[in-house]
């Protein structure tokens, strides 16, 4: 356990919607938990050595608990299933202190919050924060059906409920989210926040970018990504500047795994190109970016990459390691 890890106890487990449970986590010694801001997540260590990121969805003024929402995802690699099936009230979990890669922009004059499915967790926390601070915002929450809509009643009962539109895939056509209209014109000072499944996020960010939204006004957080090897993935070499050592990365290996096999550990968390923990500077060569963390501009600069999933377009990458 590293120094920023803490042990918490599951105080409550609640079914919030079909295939979605929330877990209320409290400190084991009764001391206040580390503070967090809207958009923060924690890393949760799960049975089987898996680490998963879950956004905090309670009010950040609370220091006695963290609330997370977990979707049992049929396509998951075991993380969400372990939470649903093996973690119960009274169990302890090792978690990280909160981290925030999805913070509210304090300079925003208006915010547009878009949640898809379980992506509601950080978005709900943001909506509550914005409402408490009297900020101008609107929120759209897209789900497959009412039965799969976590926190529906909490949102309907919230003082800001008039600012929230629900969009159900199986609902009325006129209630479907019209992204083209919503994102037609970027306005100075309006910031867009999106969290949800990859297809939803690609669609939101793609529409915003096509309509000229500046990157600085776009904020997103992915939960899962497909980091499976792709056909045609080839071997390449990485060179460590500190030692001059060269390590070969096989076609079916990640850079992190190749380095680990050579005795060189790179700190990781999500191992899916989502969190940025493994971000490493690239001094020479061109990465083949596979992450969801960096912006298109940062990808184009080619001076950093995520070795947990990204590869190389050149035969050699020289890394600042
Ligand atoms: S470990 Fe999360 S981006 Fe690489």
pLDDT along the chain (321 residues), means of 10: 78 96 95 95 84 90 95 75 91 94 93 96 96 96 96 96 96 88 95 93 95 95 71 93 96 93 89 88 96 89 96 97 94
Q: Does the beta carbon of 71 lie inside 6 Å of ligand 1?
A: no
Rounded distance from Cα 53 to ligand 1 centre (Å): 11
Q: Does the beta carbon of 118 lie inside 6 Å of ligand 1?
A: no
pLDDT at residue number 231: 81
Q: Determine contact, residues 268/277, Cβ cutoff 8 Å.
A: yes
pLDDT at residue number 173: 82
Burial class (CB in 10 A: 0-12, 13-18, 19+), 193: buried
Q: Does the beta carbon of 292 lie inside 6 Å of ligand 1?
A: no
Give phi and psi for 152, each to the nearest 5: -55, -50
CA dihedral 121→122→124→128, nearest 10 degrees, is 140
Q: Determine contact, residues 102/39, Cβ cutoff 8 Å.
A: yes
Which atom of ligand 1 is found nearest the CA of 267? 1
To test the ligand 1 pocket, which listed residue (101, 254, 275, 319) has its Cβ within 8 A of the most ligand atoms? 275
pLDDT at residue number 224: 66
Q: Determine contact, residues 50/44, Cβ cutoff 8 Å.
A: no
To test the ligand 1 pocket, which listed residue (52, 96, 268, 287) has its Cβ within 8 A of the most ligand atoms? 268
DSSP state of 105: P
Separation of alpha carbons 72 and 75, rounded Å: 9
To test the ligand 1 pocket, which listed residue (52, 274, 281, 307) has its Cβ within 8 A of the most ligand atoms? 274
User: By alpha-carbon position, which residue is closest to atom 3 of ligand 1?
Assistant: 273
Closest by CA position to 319, among listed 250, 259, 233: 259
To test the ligand 1 pocket, which listed residue (51, 99, 276) has its Cβ within 8 A of the most ligand atoms? 276
- Strands 137-143 and 110-116 turn out to be parallel
Which atom of ligand 1 is found nearest the CA of 270? 2
Strand (E) or helix (H) holding 189:
none
Give phi and psi for 7, each to the nearest 5: -100, 130
Q: Does the beta carbon of 274 lie inside 6 Å of ligand 1?
A: yes
- Strands 137-143 and 164-168 turn out to be parallel
What does pTM read for this prediction?
0.81
Write out the two tokens for 6: 């803490």
Q: Does the beta carbon of 270 lie inside 6 Å of ligand 1?
A: yes
pLDDT at residue number 1: 40
Rounded distance from Cα 58 to ligand 1 centre (Å): 25
């Amino acid at each position: 356990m590293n120094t920023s890890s803490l042990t918490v106890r599951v105080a409550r487990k609640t079914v919030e919607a079909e295939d979605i449970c929330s877990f209320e986590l409290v400190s084991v010694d009764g001391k206040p938990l580390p503070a967090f801001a809207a958009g923060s997540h924690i890393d949760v260590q799960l049975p089987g050595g898996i680490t998963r990121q879950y956004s905090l969805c309670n009010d950040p003024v609370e220091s006695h608990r963290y609330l997370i929402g977990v979707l049992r995802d049929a396509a998951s690699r075991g993380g969400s299933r372990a939470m649903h099936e093996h973690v119960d009230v009274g169990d302890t979990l090792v978690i990280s202190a909160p981290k925030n890669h999805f913070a509210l922009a304090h300079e925003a004059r208006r915010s547009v919050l878009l949640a898809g499915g379980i992506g509601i967790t950080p978005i709900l926390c943001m909506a509550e924060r914005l409402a408490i601070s009297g900020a101008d915002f609107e929120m759209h929450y897209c789900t497959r059906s009412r039965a799969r809509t976590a926190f529906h009643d909490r949102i309907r009962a919230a003082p800001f409920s008039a600012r929230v539109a629900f969009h159900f895939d199986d609902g009325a056509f006129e209630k479907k989210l019209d992204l083209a209209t919503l994102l037609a014109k970027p306005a100075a000072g309006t910031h867009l926040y999106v969290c949800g499944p990859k297809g939803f996020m690609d669609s939101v960010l793609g529409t915003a970018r096509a309509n000229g939204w500046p990157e600085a006004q776009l904020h997103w957080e992915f939960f899962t990504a497909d980091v499976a090897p792709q056909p045609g993935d080839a071997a390449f070499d990485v060179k460590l500047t500190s030692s001059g050592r060269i390590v070969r990365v096989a076609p079916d290996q990640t850079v992190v795994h190749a380095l680990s096999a050579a005795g060189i550990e790179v700190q990781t968390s999500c191992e899916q190109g989502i969190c940025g923990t493994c971000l490493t500077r690239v001094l020479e060569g061109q990465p083949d970016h596979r992450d969801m963390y960096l912006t298109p501009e940062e990808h184009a600069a080619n001076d950093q990459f995520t070795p947990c999933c990204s590869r190389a377009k050149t035969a050699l990458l020289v890394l600042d390691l």
